[in-house]
Structure 1
């Protein structure tokens, strides 16, 4: 009997150590990365040209604070000197300033030290979103296009400039601000410009105008509250815009700052077209490493729900030794040591905020970062 009990104990300990080989406790949020975790990610960061850093929701201040710690390490240890945000592709091509980012980042208290750090370390800010949200785009898109066309002896139709500015100003309200004829004219004239010799010989403006064409579609497509059509349009072009930045800067390494959903490696049906990460990997195989971040305690999750989930082996929280500490899960290592995990559905209480809270979570990302105590973003 004693031998049987000893065997069962040893077997349980072996199984436990296998499951937890790939799960690492992190420090507090202000000095997040332990030496053990640094050793795990160093090899990946050295080999990869692009590191994606995702956040669960744009109101999670703790996700942002944790991402800042990764950014600091990437810059200081691995010499990443470029960071691309889920923000205005056009504006940030010409004006690499935080004022061209969404205010959720540029004006948040949690990102204040990030932008100071980027400036002090000469890190260049880029964008890859086809949405033209910065005042810079409204003020300069047509001006710069006119200058480029004039070099080829082409005069831009004033009506095109007028309608384009209405679109940029109104964004998702453009269906109300523009007639069907005006929208069609904008499409057709953009395609006409793309066929001119002065643009055909300009790689940058080919990309800008192709991105703008998808912005026309994004802002004017008829969609419902699910945003299913708009999500697919946006993610497809964001992957192409990011690919363009990487391709045009072959000797640079990029940090990519965005939402978890956009950077997922999966092309599963329940992603509903939110497949930028998958599409980018199709264009750049084996070049990127994807780290998703999520805060366990953040509205609308309750403590009761969290404690219940931690006891349920169908929940990703059941893999964590404790739910009151911060953790780093090396998804690739965990799947290697536990082959069945890649085909295992996990619930996550929407901690990582994918389209479904029941998914093959370990296949979406290379690593998962759990922050025990969440806080919402704050603004000065």
Structure 2
């Protein structure tokens, strides 16, 4: 593949009132040609129009149409390098485990082998086992720690089940709550129900167990009420993630509801990251197109896509909206294959008057 077109999703989802002819004219006058999607293509001249469009935004969200799109992974890796080296972005926030990619990442020694192993164990398999992501995860990010501009890693997803969470979340929560001396910690329900449920959530034992999930959700509500304030905002937010993860599992049969629970909490997590943990730094967000979509409740044609996705919720705040630029990636044809799937699948043919045409 010699050329790849990266189209700014932001532009198209902020002009929903355009007719087909206006959109076609807009695309023809604003599309740019990308010389290469290969991560080692270091001449960034072709990406400068994207940099100009991003301008002073301190948050750039990079989407992908599916988690089996290797071409998108390559293109996003090259964009990450460009943003890091040319535009001053020094944080990459993955659609990944909020506890593991914050508490866990902050603890590890920033040595190449340690970083590579940690990322392999604590970033989702769809990326860590994909050869198209290996340059980013096992070369570029670890290598950046041998320079004076390291690329810091964080995550914002509520799904707390990867290696670090499975091994450490229960202990971390227990230690933190015992230091608060709230009444619930002294109860039998805390020891016999809450802590085992936290462990079960991280290890997948509670999948389909509605009673245990509801008890966990209710217990977290009690804890948050007894804590009262948010003087340790990370721990407060972590408890809300446990609650949201339990609630999303409870709603698993209603995909629309489960998705909105997840994305609402992810938006809150991202808000905390950019406002509190990294208030003076520029952040790259790596996620699916849907999660980073702006104005999704009004812009999408299909009702099933009109959800309160993370990007829509996050940019509903005027400050966030002014400082955020969104890039979605789409393909007109080809095949895709998630690493967990046995065979590749053809990309769905676009609509006759769809964006890809």
The answer to whether the superposition gives a TM-score over 0.5 is: yes
The match for 1:24 among 32, 40, 43 is 32
TM-score by length of 2: 0.74
Aligned to 2:259: 231
Q: Distance in 2 between matches of 1:195 and 1:47?
A: 40
Aligned to 1:190: 220
Q: Distance in 2 between matches of 1:49 and 1:245?
A: 12
Q: Distance in 2 between matches of 1:136 and 1:127?
A: 13
Asked if 1:140 is matched to 2:168, the reply is yes
Q: Report if the CA contact (8 A) 1:87-1:129 is conserved.
A: yes
Asked if 1:124 is matched to 2:146, the reply is no
Asked if 1:80 is matched to 2:89, the reply is yes
Q: Report if the CA contact (8 A) 1:50-1:254 is conserved.
A: yes
1:205-220 alignment runs, 5 A limit: 205-220=235-250
- RMSD of aligned residue pairs (Cα, Å): 2.6
Q: Distance in 2 between matches of 1:152 and 1:316?
A: 54
C-alpha offsets along residues 208-266 of structure 1, whole Å, 9 cap, x if unaligned? 11121111101122525xx2221111111111111111111210111000111111112
Q: Report if the CA contact (8 A) 1:55-1:63 is conserved.
A: yes
Asked if 1:315 is matched to 2:354, the reply is yes
Q: Distance in 2 between matches of 1:189 and 1:149?
A: 13
SS in 2 for 1:316: coil
Measure how far apart 1:85 and its partner are.
0.6
The match for 2:63 among 54, 72, 77 is 54
Aligned to 2:129: 107
Aligned to 1:255: 284
Q: Distance in 1 between matches of 2:347 and 2:309?
A: 29
Measure how far apart 1:174 and its partner are.
2.3
The match for 2:204 among 160, 170, 176 is 170
Aligned to 1:35: 45
Measure how far apart 1:79 and its partner are.
1.6
TM-score by length of 1: 0.70
Aligned to 1:245: 273
The alignment of Structure 1 onto Structure 2 pairs a total of residues equal to 291
Measure how far apart 1:189 and its partner are.
1.8
Q: Report if the CA contact (8 A) 2:64-2:288 is conserved.
A: yes
Aligned to 1:363: none
Structure with the higher strand share, 1 or 2: 1
SS in 2 for 1:94: helix
If you compute each CA radius of gyration, which structure gives the higher value, 1 or 2? 1
Q: Residues 143 and 55 (structure 1 numbering): CA distance in 2 closer, same or farther, change over 3 Å?
A: same
Asked if 1:282 is matched to 2:299, the reply is no
Q: Residues 56 and 33 (structure 1 numbering): CA distance in 2 closer, same or farther, change over 3 Å?
A: farther
Q: Report if the CA contact (8 A) 1:82-1:124 is conserved.
A: yes
